[in-house]
């Protein structure tokens, strides 16, 4: 075998410790597949004394993560610090600046600075691996960048956040409200003490911006992603969705159109019989549509020590083999300049739930507003009568324009008989 590949790891949390453990326990198998041994030679973290469940004996220690980039006993840097700024960005820039390959699980870093880092990697002629940044142990980066490289991708869609998928699954199965299930998810460790990054859709949007760049050969554009979370999804909406034949999922969707690329994260209703509808609990899934391969569907655990460490080590094996692929699937000067399509230009079908006072004329007022916006209805649900009291009315539209539906909602909300802002959930056909 040729010379061993020496690895420096910054960040020894759950994933970092998992990488150390995987490289130690599967050392012989990895060396066989990589063509040479891959060993950790140096690490950096905030607390040297903390017990991480793995031995750090024999590793060089750096209090300053950036020092890993300049360590002569480190051939490749693994960044597992997290966050788009600070030491994570400093280390990534330093490693590439001195010509060392970089492996990262940091979706925020790539979403915000991916274009800059890709140019630096290209200038240094070194690899930038990030399989672990999207969907944990699911090899979606390799699938898009390599397995589907000969295809024109028309659409990528996925369940990209396990916390949200867990919450929506439990809400449906146990008929419980959002805040109640969120509290349980926090107690079980599925949600952070401050869960906003997950439940407001930001985590999924970071990942989607990366997938969109790969799928459509364009620079990563986090600013162009439309982002909505799941805070306003109610148990009532989940119940109506079930009655209508749908499941509610937080989806990331990137789709190429004549006007550019739609890149959006939001709750969506998907038919029960579709692949994404069946993905429950903390699992992630990604669906890609290629013009020759057809639909490719990948599902698995999107987080955790084992799955994420597995993805990090897969990148290290590629580097050990000498595999070197452009970061976004093509060199910087060959990337597309397709713009992000504004959300107002989206066309589709919509679920609307209104809480109204049960009195004569309410439905006539609502349908008049929809008619003025040229919105027609496919179906309507109203269960029972409670004269003078609040009742839900559910409307499902035919295909219409996002701008029109937003204008209609603003006008409906202004009606005296409508008691709260109408709930809107977009319907995805597959």
Which DSSP symbol is given to 344?
Answer: G
d(C-alpha 376, C-alpha 372), whole Å = 10
Cβ atoms of 324 and 127 closer than 8 Å = yes
Clarify whether 207 is annotated catalytic: yes
DSSP secondary structure of 82-113: -SSSHHHHHHHHHHHHTT--EEE--HHHHHHH
d(C-alpha 171, C-alpha 237), whole Å = 10
SS3 content of the chain, % helix, strand, coil (to 5): 40, 25, 35
d(C-alpha 226, C-alpha 206), whole Å = 11
Chain-centroid distance of CA 391 in Å reads 35
Distances (CA, A) of 246 to 166, 324, 429: 17, 43, 10
* Residue corresponding to tokens 């690329």: 261
Q: What SS3 class is residue 316?
A: helix
Distances (CA, A) of 111 to 3, 11, 81, 134, 425: 34, 19, 15, 11, 26
Residues 6+ positions from 262 with CB-CB distance below 8 Å: 253, 254, 255, 256, 340, 341, 346
Choose the catalytic residue: 207, 249, 272, 386.
207
Catalytic (active-site) positions: 207
């Amino acid at each position: 075998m040729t010379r061993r590949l020496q690895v420096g790891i910054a960040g020894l949390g759950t994933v970092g410790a998992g990488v150390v453990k995987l490289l130690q326990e599967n050392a012989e198998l990895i060396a066989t597949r990589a063509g040479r041994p891959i060993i950790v030679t140096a690490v950096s973290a905030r607390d040297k004394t903390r017990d991480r469940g793995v031995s750090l004996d024999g590793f060089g220690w750096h209090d300053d993560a950036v020092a890993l980039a300049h360590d002569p006993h480190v051939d490749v840097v693994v960044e597992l610090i997290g966050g788009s700024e600070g030491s994570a960005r400093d280390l990534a820039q330093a490693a590439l600046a001195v010509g060392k390959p970089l492996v990262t699980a940091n979706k925020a870093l790539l979403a915000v600075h991916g274009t800059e880092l890709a140019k630096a990697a290209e200038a240094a002629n070194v690899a930038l691996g990030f399989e672990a940044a999207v969907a944990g142990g699911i090899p979606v980066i390799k699938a898009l960048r390599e397995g589907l490289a000969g295809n024109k991708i028309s659409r990528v869609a996925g369940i990209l956040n396990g916390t949200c998928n867990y919450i929506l699954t439990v809400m449906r199965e146990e008929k419980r409200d959002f805040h109640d299930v969120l509290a349980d998810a926090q107690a079980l460790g599925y949600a952070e003490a401050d869960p906003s990054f997950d439940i407001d859709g930001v985590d999924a949007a970071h990942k989607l911006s990366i997938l969109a760049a790969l799928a459509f050969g364009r620079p990563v554009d986090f600013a162009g992603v439309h982002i909505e979370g799941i805070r306003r999804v109610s148990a009532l909406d989940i119940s109506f969705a079930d009655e209508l034949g749908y499941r509610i999922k937080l989806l990331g969707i990137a789709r190429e159109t004549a006007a550019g690329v739609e890149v959006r994260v939001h709750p969506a209703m998907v038919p029960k019989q579709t692949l994404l509808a069946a993905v429950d609990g903390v699992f992630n899934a990604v669906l890609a549509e290629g013009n020759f391969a057809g639909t490719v569907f990948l599902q698995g655990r999107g987080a955790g020590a084992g799955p994420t460490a597995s993805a990090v080590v897969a990148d290290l094996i590629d580097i050990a083999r000498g595999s070197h692929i452009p970061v976004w699937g093509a060199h910087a000067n060959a990337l597309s300049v397709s713009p992000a399509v504004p959300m107002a230009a989206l066309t589709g079908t919509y679920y609307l739930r209104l809480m109204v006072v049960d009195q004569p004329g309410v439905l006539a007022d609502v349908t008049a507003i929809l008619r003025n916006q040229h919105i027609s209805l496919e179906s309507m649900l109203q269960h029972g009568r409670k004269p003078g009291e609040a009742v839900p009315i559910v409307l499902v539209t035919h295909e219409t324009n996002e701008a029109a539906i937003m204008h209609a909602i603003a006008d409906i909300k202004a009606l005296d008989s409508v008691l709260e802002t109408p709930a809107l959930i977009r319907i995805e056909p597959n």
